C-alpha cells in the first residue's frame, strides 16, 4: 500500500528536498506551502504529488490540506518543516518580527500536530517529525527568539512522544546546525556562530535524515531527537555531559 507524507514549507529548501526524496521513492506526497504557486511548481504534474496553499498558523487550512491529501485514510508521516527566522540584536528586531517567529515556528507546529493527530493515529506506525534546530540546545545571542521557539518545539516533541505512544504515533525531531538554504544564504543570519562554525549541511542532508527516521526501528531507551550531521552530533553530545557553565562559555565564545 502506498504510504503518504505531508510536508510543510515544501516549496523550497529542506521541505522541498524532503518532499522530493519521498516522492522519488514511491510515496504519495503533499507539497504544502504558504506560497501556493511555488508549491505547485515544486510538485509539478508528477504521479503521487499533491500540492496546496497552507499557512501553518491556520487550523482551517490544516483541516482542508489533510482532507485533500488523505480523505478518510491515514497519514504515515507529517513533517512540520515550515519556519521563519529573524536574526540580529534582540532589541533591533521589531515585535512583529518576534511574534511572527513564535506564530510560525511554534504555533504552526502545535496546530499541525493537533490537526494531524487523528490521521497519524490511523496509520499503523504514524510519525510526527518536527524540524527543530541545534539552536535549541542553548540560547544564542542574535538568535534569541528563533532559538526559544526551537527549544519549545524540542520540549513539545518530548512530551508528545510519550503521550502519543499509546496511539501508536511516534514523535521525533531533527536538529541540524546551519543548513545551506535561502533562510541562511539569501536572507542572511546575523550570528557570529555562522562564521565560527560554517554552513556544512545541505537540504539533501536533512532530507536523508528525515528518510532515515521514517524507517528506523524502535529502540525503547532512545530519545526522540536526532542530531543531523557530525558537527551537530558532537555539539549535542558535548552539551549533554558538560556542566551548564561550560556550555555557557562555549556559546559565548562562538557567538563573539
Predicted local confidence at residue 206, as pLDDT: 96
Mean pLDDT confidence for 63-89: 96
- 5 - beta bridge partners? 29, 77
In the block, residue with C-alpha cell 561550560: 246
- In which band, very low, low, confident or very high, does the pLDDT at 218 lie, cut at 50, 70 and 90? confident
Hey, is 114 helix, strand or coil?
helix
d(Cα 130, Cα 247) in Å, to the nearest integer? 24
Which pTM value belongs to this model? 0.90
d(Cα 246, Cα 3) in Å, to the nearest integer? 45
Catalytic residue among 31, 119, 138, 146: 146
Query: Domain-by-domain residue ranges, the chain?
Result: 4-254
Mean pLDDT confidence for 150-163: 97
**In the predicted structure, residue 38 carries a pLDDT above the cut 80:** yes
Is 146 catalytic? The answer is yes
Predicted local confidence at residue 234, as pLDDT: 74
Predicted local confidence at residue 14, as pLDDT: 95
Give the CA radius of gyration of the chain.
18
**In the predicted structure, residue 135 carries a pLDDT above the cut 90:** no
Hey, is 96 helix, strand or coil?
helix
Average pLDDT score, the chain: 89
Q: How far is CA 171 from CA 88, 89, 112, 128, 156, in A?
A: 31, 33, 13, 5, 9
Q: Poorest-confidence range of 110-114, 127-131, 216-220?
A: 216-220
Predicted local confidence at residue 221, as pLDDT: 73
Predicted local confidence at residue 34, as pLDDT: 98
Q: Where are the alpha helices (DSSP H) in the chain?
A: 13-24, 36-43, 59-70, 95-101, 108-122, 144-163, 182-185, 192-197, 203-215, 230-241, 244-254
- In which band, very low, low, confident or very high, does the pLDDT at 184 lie, cut at 50, 70 and 90? low
Mean pLDDT confidence for 195-215: 84
CATH code reported for the domain at 4-254: 3.40.50.720
Mean pLDDT confidence for 139-146: 90
- 180 - beta bridge partners? 202
Predicted local confidence at residue 251, as pLDDT: 56
Amino acid at each position: 500500500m502506498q504510504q503518504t507524507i505531508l510536508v510543510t514549507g515544501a516549496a523550497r529548501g529542506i521541505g522541498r528536498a524532503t518532499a522530493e526524496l519521498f516522492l522519488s521513492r514511491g510515496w504519495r506526497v503533499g507539497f504544502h506551502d504558504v506560497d501556493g504557486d511555488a508549491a505547485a511548481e515544486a510538485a509539478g504534474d508528477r504521479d503521487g504529488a499533491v500540492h496546496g496553499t497552507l499557512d501553518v498558523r491556520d487550523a482551517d487550512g490544516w483541516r482542508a490540506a489533510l482532507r485533500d491529501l488523505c480523505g478518510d485514510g491515514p497519514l504515515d508521516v507529517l513533517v512540520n518543516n515550515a519556519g521563519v527566522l529573524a536574526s540580529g540584536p534582540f532589541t533591533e528586531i521589531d515585535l512583529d518580527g518576534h511574534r511572527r517567529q513564535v506564530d510560525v515556528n511554534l504555533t504552526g507546529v502545535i496546530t499541525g500536530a493537533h490537526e494531524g493527530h487523528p490521521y497519524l493515529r490511523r496509520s499503523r506506525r504514524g510519525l510526527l517529525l518536527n524540524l527543530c534546530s541545534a539552536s535549541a540546545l542553548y540560547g544564542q545571542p542574535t538568535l534569541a527568539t528563533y532559538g526559544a521557539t526551537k527549544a519549545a518545539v524540542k520540549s513539545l516533541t518530548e512530551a508528545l512522544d510519550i503521550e502519543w505512544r499509546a496511539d501508536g504515533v511516534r514523535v521525533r525531531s531533527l536538529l541540524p546546525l546551519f543548513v545551506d538554504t535561502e533562510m541562511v544564504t539569501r536572507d542572511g543570519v546575523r550570528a557570529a556562530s555562522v562564521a565560527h562554525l560554517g554552513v556544512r549541511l545541505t537540504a539533501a542532508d536533512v532530507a536523508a535524515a528525515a528518510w532515515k527516521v521514517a524507517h528506523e526501528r524502535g529502540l525503547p531507551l532512545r530519545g526522540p531527537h536526532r542530531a543531523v550531521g557530525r558537527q551537530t552530533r558532537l555539539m549535542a553530545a558535548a552539551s549533554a555531559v558538560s556542566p551548564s557553565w561550560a556550555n555557557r562559555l562555549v556559546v559565548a565564545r562562538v557567538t563573539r
